[in-house]
Amino acid sequence: MSIGQTFLGLLEAGPRHGYDLKRAYDERFSHTRPLHFGQVYATLSRLLKNGLVEIDAVEPGEGPERKRYAITAAGVTDVQQWLSQPERPDLYLQNTLYTKVVLALLTGRAAADLLDIQRAEHLRVMRELTRRKAGGDLADQLICDHALFHLEADLRWLELTAARLDDLAGKVRA
Q: Which residues make up the interface to another protein (CB under 8 A)? A: 112, 116, 119-120, 122-123, 126-127, 129-130, 134, 148-149, 151-152, 155-156, 159, 163
Choice between 11 and 151, CB closer to another protein: 151
Least distance to another protein from the beta carbon of 63, Å? 43
Choice between 22 and 122, CB closer to another protein: 122
Least distance to another protein from the beta carbon of 66, Å? 42
Choice between 36 and 156, CB closer to another protein: 156
Question: At what angle are helices 18-29 and 138-173 packed, to 10 degrees?
Answer: 40
What's the CA gap between 95 and 10, in Å, rounded? 28
Least distance to another protein from the beta carbon of 31, Å? 18
Q: How many CB atoms lie within 10 A of CB 47?
A: 24
Choice between 76 and 126, CB closer to another protein: 126
Strands annotated E in the chain: 16-17, 53-59, 66-71
| CA distance readout (Å), 50 to 1, 22, 46, 53, 60 | 19, 20, 6, 8, 26
What's the CA gap between 144 and 125, in Å, rounded? 10
Least distance to another protein from the beta carbon of 134, Å? 7
| CA distance readout (Å), 77 to 89, 131, 151 | 24, 37, 32
Least distance to another protein from the beta carbon of 126, Å? 4
Choice between 105 and 147, CB closer to another protein: 147
